[in-house]
Amino acid sequence: MTAVTGLPPTMADRKDDVTPMLSQYVELCEQHPDALVLFQVGDFYEAFCEAAEEVARVCEVTLTQREDSTGEYPMAGIPIDNAASYLERLVEADYRVALADQVEDAEEASGLVDRAVTRVITPGTVVEDELLAAGSTTYVASVVERDAANGERDGYGIAAVDASTGECFVTTVPTRGDVREELDRIQPNELLVAGDAPTVAPDGDWMESAVDAELFEPTVARDRLAEYVADPDRRLDNDAEQRACGAVLAYAEYTQGDDGPLEYVSRIRRHDQRDQLRLDAAALRSLELFDNRGPGSGETVFDVLDETASALGRRCLDRWLRRPLVDRAAIEDRLDAVDALVDDGVVRSDLSDLLAEAYDLERLAGRVSRERANARDLRALHATLSIVPELKERIADIPALSDHHARLDELRDVATLIDEAISPEPPMELTEGGVIKQSFDDELDALRTTEQEGREWVADLEATERERTGIDSLSVGHNQVHGYYIEVTNPNLDQVPDDYTRRQTLKNAERFYTPELKEREDEIFGAAERADSLEYELFCEVRETVAAETDRIQALATTIAELDALCSFSIAATEGDYVRPELRAASDDAHISIHGGRHPVVETTQAEFVPNDTDLAGGDVAIITGPNMSGKSTYMRQVALICLLAQTGSFVPAEAATLPVLDRIFTRVGASDDIAGGQSTFMREMSELTEILHDATDRSLVLLDEVGRGTSTADGLAIAQATTEFIHDELDATTLFATHYHGLTDLADEREGVHNLHFAATREGDDVTFLHRVAPGASSASYGIEVARMAGVPTPVVDRARDVVATMTGDASDSSVADNATDAADSHPTSDNDTATDPAASAAAADDALADALAEQTLDPETVAAVAAELQALDIATMTPLEALNTLDSLRSQLDEE
């Protein structure tokens, strides 16, 4: 089903013959051709014709038929009071939803109520609290290629804005690969593109939104930016940054109802890739920082570290993990603060308790500035401000937090204003009174007194009139239609005084008013009405005064957020038994030295996690071998994560760690771990490898996990070996390389900086136990068949596989050759064992022998052709390993029969 935006086709056909109300709808639809327009009719947002069908389908609401003087047409509506969940569905279905609200009071409107689009809701610019997860970020981003023809250097300008908090930043990156890396880090919900502008949009989880190319025009963009920063040319690095940033801001303005610049976007930050530890997309993914796609698991590194108490802190932690630091002094500052909080359990828990009372100041500031904050929001702001003095007091004696102490602005003026002006428990509605406190405004107090006195007078009226008239059953009441009345039952009507005027006749009684009651009534309602609207005016004034302090509120939000993130690090460190890493001096090489290191996530899932040491001098390459499932990947990731966490300022899961400040972490996981994607996975693996070989430096950490396995064994090994040699000889990047290519381990003999490490396993009978302990030297057996058996591969296949191994190692008489390969790791803890007893070496020899034998053999060309055709027809990407193994076996037997 194609999406329905703008004017629904059926409505377009009859647009000249619709009621005035629908012609308003037509006009608004035409003004928003890319959005699905929801049109307020009373308490509902309605859509018509094809748009109605779509709303009914996506939101699962009833499709009805509306009939008016011009005919019948489909209509579907969602209740405004409960719109959030429906809007969420529409946005999830990739719609931009334009809300056309009634912008006049229906009772006051003369004729048709005026409507206007007040908000366009899109995945990247949602600001409604109900639609946003607490502590999350929602960015709309855009990427513009630099104009080489214009004398600019190659590269791309990237900008992103979070319309709910006003956070806005730009950066410039040199290559397309870097664009991808930056977008993976930002994780925008929406990416703006324009056909006629040099926008770039790599595939990703974001929704692509086509916008008018004009937004990217250099002069248009610069003019827009000038509304936000004093000197765009100085603040932003180049034309592409300006164009990208101008466009995202224009789009954010459009979605907020096009009321001009967003005041709460008070600064535009520039990120420079060189100022942060760079993580490529593969690293973000495979280190499972934010997303754990592993089977049966769910926790991410973020989850383990997240002990934040507030949404502000959560967002800050997220930012820190996405952008670890490279500035030693800044890292040490954070570590000092965490250290101090680890040492002082009382302050730590007090801080955490206090921070839990902080509301989301970043979003509050956004709402205040957009004039969307209600009285409860201001009270929430006040509640947050009121914890600041105590926060200050708590951290006053901690030197490592002196900067935060100085930055904690109590915003007393704002706090006092809100406290004096806004009722402690105000209603949601702003126009029905109860918002402004007594004694804040004399005129308001006078009006409320008049109202109050009037009501008291009315309350006393019953007694007074009973006495005056002698009618004991006389009562005073009020209803919406007739206002105040005096009710007298029919039997007493003869006692009614002359100044009573009849207002309403009931079955058993008559209702009256007196001139004075009428006068009081006018007074009461007049005063109440004026008071309500005065309250609204006063509220708006207070909100405006607060909005003028947006910068200070945002600065306070940043400080509180940082304190929360630091506190979270200290809690995670205490609970997880982490230590403070020691950073090497800048001049030292990239030597990584970890004692008793652990993987922060895997250790939480294992009853007994085995800690492992790491000692890699800068530029060292560790070739890691070992059976499947023995812990190679976990080990490599734990080394990378320990380095990464240290550079975010966190303590690390180890007994001790002395670490360099890295510039980049690269990870490449061999093909078939990400089978999806269409592109040949091997091709992708190689192009990612290319990036490493171009960009890694002597301060980079490179993790290679089974790189090369997407192609034939010989080619794979050749590539793996050449890669290792290049990294070692040319790049000097510290590298961990997990591989099943045992041939690679020979490199350790040839090159000084190449070491072998292996993971051992023990075997008893058919049972393999993994020790998960890293040891020097190469592993001797791969235990692949054992793992296949443990995974449930049927016995005939396992047995056959053993036979094949046995044949290849030239020992056909012993089908349990794998058993013979007792754990060489235990008996030969170092690799360089005698090749004659090394099954890996004998397997290689067997390979050669088999190849020779095959070469000598004369096979029937027809059979060979048939096997080749069958091989070519295989759709390997969709086969299970078991099917592959069986097919291979059957192909082999066809040749064997020859």
Ligand X SMILES: Nc1ncnc2c1ncn2[C@@H]1O[C@H](COP(=O)(O)OP(=O)(O)OP(=O)(O)O)[C@@H](O)[C@H]1O
Binding site for ligand X (CB under 6 A): 602, 606, 609-610, 612, 626, 628-634, 738, 772
Give the count of alpha carbons within 13 A of 198, CB side only: 18
Closest CB to ligand X among residues 416, 769: 769
Closest CB to ligand X among residues 235, 772: 772
Q: How far is the CB of 760 from ligand X (least distance, A)?
A: 11
User: Cα separation of 293 and 128, whole Å?
Assistant: 29
Closest CB to ligand X among residues 266, 630: 630
296 annotated binding-site participant: no
Q: How far is the CB of 757 from ligand X (least distance, A)?
A: 12
Q: How far is the CB of 670 from ligand X (least distance, A)?
A: 9
Q: How far is the CB of 884 from ligand X (least distance, A)?
A: 16
627 annotated binding-site participant: yes
Q: Tokens standing for 270?
A: 């520039």
Helix, strand, coil % over all residues of the chain, rounded to 5? 50, 20, 35
Burial degree of 220 (CB within 10 A; 0-12, 13-18, 19+):
middle
708 annotated binding-site participant: no
With a CB cutoff of 8 Å and minimum separation 6, the contacts of 103 are 114, 115, 116, 118
576 annotated binding-site participant: no
632 annotated binding-site participant: yes
Q: How far is the CB of 638 from ligand X (least distance, A)?
A: 8
Q: How far is the CB of 719 from ligand X (least distance, A)?
A: 18
With a CB cutoff of 8 Å and minimum separation 6, the contacts of 591 are 584, 616, 617, 618, 658, 660
Give, rounded to a whole angstrom, the gap between the first and last alpha carbons of the chain: 55
**Interhelix angle 550-576/345-355, nearest 10 degrees:** 130
Closest CB to ligand X among residues 634, 721: 634
User: Cα separation of 884 and 870, whole Å?
Assistant: 12
Closest CB to ligand X among residues 473, 769: 769
Burial 805-831 (b: 16+ CB within 10 A, else e): bbebbebeeebebbeebebbbeebeeb
Closest CB to ligand X among residues 189, 638: 638
User: Cα separation of 649 and 328, whole Å?
Assistant: 10
Closest CB to ligand X among residues 496, 610: 610
Closest CB to ligand X among residues 606, 820: 606
**Interhelix angle 328-343/345-355, nearest 10 degrees:** 100
Closest CB to ligand X among residues 511, 632: 632
633 annotated binding-site participant: yes
767-776 sheet: strands from edge to edge: 278-279, 664-669, 700-705, 734-738, 621-625, 754-764, 767-776
User: Cα separation of 711 and 726, whole Å?
Assistant: 20
Q: How far is the CB of 640 from ligand X (least distance, A)?
A: 13
292 annotated binding-site participant: no
Residues 743/721, Cβ–Cβ less than 8 Å: yes
Instruction: Reduce the secondary structure of 534-548 to three states and give it as a string.
Output: HHHHHHHHHHHHHHC
What does R_g of the chain's alpha carbons equal in angstroms?
Answer: 36
Residues 639/738, Cβ–Cβ less than 8 Å: no
Closest CB to ligand X among residues 244, 629: 629
User: Cα separation of 626 and 840, whole Å?
Assistant: 12
Q: How far is the CB of 635 from ligand X (least distance, A)?
A: 7
Q: How far is the CB of 632 from ligand X (least distance, A)?
A: 4
* 789 strand-pairing partners: none
Q: How far is the CB of 612 from ligand X (least distance, A)?
A: 6
> Residues forming the annotated binding site for ATP?
626-633
> Residues forming the annotated binding site?
626-633
